[in-house]
Structure 1
Amino acid sequence: MNKVLIVDDEPVQCRLASETVARAGFDPLVAHSGREALDILARSDDIAAMILDLVMPDMDGMAVLEALKRRDTALPVIVQTSQTSLETVVSAMRLGATDFFVKPVAPERITVSLRNALKVKTLETCLRVERNKRSGAFGFDDIIAASPAMSRPISLGRKAAASTIPVLVEGETGVGKELLARAIQGSGDRAGKPFVTVNCGAIPKDLVEATLFGHVKGAFTGAIADAPGKFREANTGTLFLDEVGELPPETQVKLLRALQDGEIEPVGASRPVRVNVRLISATNRRLLNLARDGHFREDLYYRLNVFPIYVPPLRERREDIARLAVHFLTRFAAEEGRHVSTIDPAAMSLLESYDWPGNVRQLENAVFRAVVLAEHAALTVADFPQIVLAAEGHAEAKSTTHAAFTMARPIHIDQAAPPLRLAEPVPSPVADRFLDESGDLLAISEIERDLIAFAIDHCAGRMAQVARQLGIGRSTLYRKIKEYGLEREAENVA
């Protein structure tokens, strides 16, 4: 639930504003002076908005706005005061106030203003994140993660960003491994340089080497031009190998050499090419387990696993669910032009209690669907039927068989099975047409008989064409047909 800080030296006004804020679905906090408000903001980083009175003893509202501006705090501030001068309004807006009220204020006006302010703040955050992704300046402050479980991955990520050490990001599907990789690049010396993503599990086996290392013209069928490959595309920047555990064994050997020597050899090239690439790998299975079971090379594992970072699943950081849901809601509502502004408490409780086997990606898609289908300004439990069905289905699974499809329970990364690799097709033995069942050579008469029978069938019984293609006369052909007893075959075809 979003927290709203109410700053006013009048107890009655604080109580009235708190009731209004609580009815609007927010969590009110109260400060009776400007200094107390700044102290609360210094201790808490989860304040979503502030309702600020301008006239207070000791430190007035204008001084608080100036302090927030010096701190470069992007906090929506709604100003309320009994003063009605235009100069006061202009001064407050120049210092960063998002709205201005003259006391007394109708509760509905405060509610609308708060929701608009939070919506604008979230939209600004979305735009900043997308802008930073495009420019290569995406950082750890752009990641929505306030839960204690995310403090260690982010702390390790900040340390990794200060060097070029190879990083291995492990975590279940959809937890945000690529975002962490982007933050590592955007916070280091390679910020603004190329960030190239490769999904190793989505590349056909025959094209993995050419995709990663490139190829020269004519190296294989269809290579009509030189291709640089992902390593050269990421030169001076970062190469992100997603699902690196899916790489076939022969490619793992070549990747190991590229990491050791800093050189790649394009397919068909006569000499290697030097590359300067920061490598970040990711996997949704424990790479150690894959190496232990023989599905991944141990020497490559030790080369990639220099600086491992584990990203916990969403069910282990439930404190982030509400923030993520509101973020996705605001973004999709703006993109789709939908007038949906909030999630009611019952629906939010449902989202926070669900285990999310698909993690953040699944939450994002669930909110997207709810926004598109919503008929009211607030999302309700009815807007998440798939989540309700999955939650109820698991609860009843022990006693009854649920008729409808329900999503599987989450599988922790340690229990994830190794990738299913299709066995190489074994060619079926083809009998030699010149040998009999015991392996001895057939008599020439038997070979000739089979050839004539095949020719009659192939030419649809047209004897002139059969004789011409076999290189014999028609009289000879008819004699051999009679000799080998092929009259019935010739009649059936004809």
Structure 2
Amino acid sequence: MTAHILVVDDDPVQRRVLKNAIERYGHAAHLAENGRIALEFLKRNSRQFNVIVLDLMMPELDGLGFLQAAAELGMDIPVIVQTGQGGIETVVQAMRAGAFDFVVKPVSPERIAASISNALKVDHREAKVRAVRKLKSATVGFGDIASASPDMLRVIDLAQRAAQSNIPVVLEGESGVGKEMIARAIQASGDRANKPFITVNCGAIPANLVESILFGHEKGAFTGATERHTGKFMEADGGTLFLDEIGDLPLEVQVKLLRAVQQGEIETVGAGKVQKVDVRLISATNKDLIEEVRAGRFREDLYYRLNVFPITIPALRRRKEDIPHLARIFTERFSAEQKLDQPLHVGAGAMALLTAYDWPGNIRQLENAVFRAVVLSQGTELTEADFPQIAAQIPDFQSDELLSTADIPEPEPDFTRHDIAVANAARQLRSELSSHLYSSPENIIVSTDDTGEVRKLADVEEELIRFALKFYRGQMSQVARKLGIGRSTLYRKLKDYGIDPDDPLKEAA
């Protein structure tokens, strides 16, 4: 179906580039050189346009002004904003103003096409049917992976190529980035689509049971009272075996796995016989396997057998473009699961908040946060107040107003009011600190001592850690992340300097 896309940009070269990209994918492009002209187009016939691609920096009426004016006119056309500034502050402003998605210039034709495609899918009635239908099927294809970031589109392209053969694949990335979903899409797109897909979390199995679970075991083979347990390799015979967290596999089991990979043979524990298996192996890890090899925790020969086609999946904080799409999909799915009368929407303020957060738990954490918000929501759309735990962890997030606990009924879980109180306290503290951060001598970390000499590095570091603890109210994960160190390193430094995290300004006795 041909869609009508309104391009709003003051740069004639950029307008031409976008027009060519839009028409390449079968859509019709309409051009406006600034926000004022675009508004006139919309006033005359807003129903003509399906999507708006909007530049933020323009004369006469800039992108943010256009978004505000469009909202006042009651227009709900999805708007994709373009920004030449990659800063998250600009993105958050646009999302709060009601933008559907954002792209950073220079934007490729593939990237803008993906964003337009996602915008055209905004039909909550179809989404509800889609979500319910998805609940009844475990099959995941590449079309089910919502992404608009260039890095993730590259991942999908590599995975699609891998799906055309039986080449061993290693999926690398932090926990929660979607490694299993990519693995399932590879299986569903290859010639083993209708065969078993068996998953094994190598890090969740007791070391003494790993071999039996993978290869099976047999008791009483020589007494006649035989008891057999089928291993995961045999369960996956003809299909795909997904070994998650393979870096946690014990060394002694790695030897048998190497034989299975090299020769397609496994030996059942206690049986004393070899069996042939036909298994497509996809592995996943959140560790650096080559470092594990150097440390002697992972066999080098197995590493080179498995790591034939590595695919690195970026963390969600590295592809913030995907957050709006994922948030909408999760909201639609959970609205359907909860059998709500009408699907919830993600409000502009909530979308800005979700986009601003770094999501250390990646997609899994975002999914859980949206699930909780949908279950506890009292309105027709999700707002910042539905994500108090997230708001409390972003001290520099500027909300239009403090969250309100008024008119909130007593919830069944006993943490909702507490979460909102924490969020308010964090924002108040942020406001107090930021108001005198650069004017109060006590919040300035000086470089020289009373004699005019450069201070010791350790003294400056201690002072910075104390300030960070005060600024982030003792939230250790946030402090470590902002200081650019690991939590274990932070705890060690607290001990070295005698800092009490509950009272960071108290000097050691």
State the TM bucket, normalised to the shorter chain.
0.5 to 0.7
- Return the match for 1:374 from 374, 377, 381: 377
Q: Does structure 1 residue 344 correspond to structure 2 residue 347?
A: yes
Give 1:217 shift. 2.9
Contact residue 132 and residue 333 of structure 2 kept, 8 A? no
Counterpart for residue 126 of structure 1: 131
- Pick closer, same or farther for the CA change 1:307–1:17 going to 2, 3 Å: closer
State the AA in 1 paired with 2:305: R
Contact residue 158 and residue 187 of structure 1 kept, 8 A? yes
Structure 1 stretches of 4+ with a deviation exceeding 6 A read 6-10, 40-43, 393-397
State the AA in 2 paired with 1:307: F
Output aligned runs, 1:473-484, within 5 Å: none
Contact residue 169 and residue 311 of structure 1 kept, 8 A? yes
- Return the match for 1:160 from 156, 159, 162: 162
Cα distance per residue 1:224-252 (max 9 Å; x no partner): 73111000000000000000001111111
Counterpart for residue 404 of structure 2: none
- Return the match for 2:290 from 271, 288, 303: 288
Cα distance per residue 1:442-465 (max 9 Å; x no partner): xxxxxxxxxxxxxxxxxxxxxxxx
Cα distance per residue 1:414-448 (max 9 Å; x no partner): x999xxxxxxxxxxxxxxxxxxxxxxxxxxxxxxx
Give 1:261 shift. 1.5
Counterpart for residue 384 of structure 1: 387
Counterpart for residue 272 of structure 2: 270
- Return the match for 1:357 from 351, 355, 360: 360
Contact residue 169 and residue 306 of structure 2 kept, 8 A? yes
| More deviation, 123-132/259-268 | 123-132
- Pick closer, same or farther for the CA change 1:20–1:383 going to 2, 3 Å: closer
Give 1:213 shift. 0.1
Counterpart for residue 185 of structure 2: 183
Counterpart for residue 429 of structure 1: none
- Pick closer, same or farther for the CA change 1:197–1:219 going to 2, 3 Å: farther
Counterpart for residue 115 of structure 2: 46
3-state SS of paired residue (2:166)? coil
Determine the C-alpha separation between the residues in 2 that align with 1:151 and 1:399.
Answer: 38
Contact residue 146 and residue 319 of structure 1 kept, 8 A? yes
Counterpart for residue 207 of structure 2: 205
- Pick closer, same or farther for the CA change 1:322–1:335 going to 2, 3 Å: same
Q: Count residues with an aligned counterpart.
A: 334
Determine the C-alpha separation between the residues in 2 that align with 1:16 and 1:260.
Answer: 60
Output aligned runs, 1:397-416, within 5 Å: 398=468, 400=470, 402-403=472-473, 405=475, 407=477
Q: Does structure 1 residue 236 correspond to structure 2 residue 225?
A: no
Give 1:391 shift. 1.8
State the AA in 2 paired with 1:351: L
Counterpart for residue 305 of structure 2: 303
- Pick closer, same or farther for the CA change 1:212–1:232 going to 2, 3 Å: same
- Pick closer, same or farther for the CA change 1:260–1:346 going to 2, 3 Å: same
Determine the C-alpha separation between the residues in 1 that align with 2:394 and 2:318.
Answer: 17
Counterpart for residue 314 of structure 2: 312
- Pick closer, same or farther for the CA change 1:269–1:25 going to 2, 3 Å: same
Contact residue 340 and residue 379 of structure 1 kept, 8 A? no
- Pick closer, same or farther for the CA change 1:399–1:131 going to 2, 3 Å: closer
Cα distance per residue 1:302-359 (max 9 Å; x no partner): 1111110000000111111000000000111111134552111111111111110000
Q: Does structure 1 residue 23 correspond to structure 2 residue 74?
A: yes
Output aligned runs, 1:4-153, within 5 Å: 12-15=43-46, 19=70, 23=74, 26-27=77-78, 44-47=113-116, 118-127=123-132, 129-130=134-135, 133-134=138-139, 138-153=140-155
- Pick closer, same or farther for the CA change 1:306–1:48 going to 2, 3 Å: closer
Contact residue 132 and residue 336 of structure 2 kept, 8 A? no
Contact residue 340 and residue 376 of structure 1 kept, 8 A? no
Counterpart for residue 56 of structure 1: none
Determine the C-alpha separation between the residues in 1 that align with 2:323 and 2:227.
Answer: 48
State the AA in 1 paired with 2:271: A
- Pick closer, same or farther for the CA change 1:144–1:128 going to 2, 3 Å: farther
Determine the C-alpha separation between the residues in 2 that align with 1:219 and 1:182.
Answer: 36
Determine the C-alpha separation between the residues in 2 that align with 1:278 and 1:151.
Answer: 24
- Pick closer, same or farther for the CA change 1:46–1:190 going to 2, 3 Å: same
3-state SS of paired residue (1:365)? helix
Give 1:122 shift. 2.1
Question: Over alpha carbons, which structure has the higher Rg?
Answer: 1
Contact residue 4 and residue 48 of structure 1 kept, 8 A? no
3-state SS of paired residue (1:164)? coil
3-state SS of paired residue (2:270)? coil
State the AA in 2 paired with 1:398: A
Give 1:127 shift. 4.4
Determine the C-alpha separation between the residues in 1 that align with 2:326 and 2:261.
Answer: 36
3-state SS of paired residue (2:283)? strand
Contact residue 172 and residue 312 of structure 2 kept, 8 A? yes
State the AA in 2 paired with 1:258: A
Determine the C-alpha separation between the residues in 2 that align with 1:192 and 1:316.
Answer: 34
| More deviation, 3-12/267-276 | 3-12
Determine the C-alpha separation between the residues in 2 that align with 1:322 and 1:269.
Answer: 53
State the AA in 1 paired with 2:113: S
- Pick closer, same or farther for the CA change 1:250–1:345 going to 2, 3 Å: same
Counterpart for residue 501 of structure 2: none
State the AA in 1 paired with 2:74: R
Determine the C-alpha separation between the residues in 1 that align with 2:77 and 2:353.
Answer: 17
State the AA in 2 paired with 1:335: E
Determine the C-alpha separation between the residues in 1 that align with 2:312 and 2:118.
Answer: 33
Determine the C-alpha separation between the residues in 1 that align with 2:178 and 2:111.
Answer: 28
Give 1:27 shift. 2.9
RMSD value, Cα: 3.6
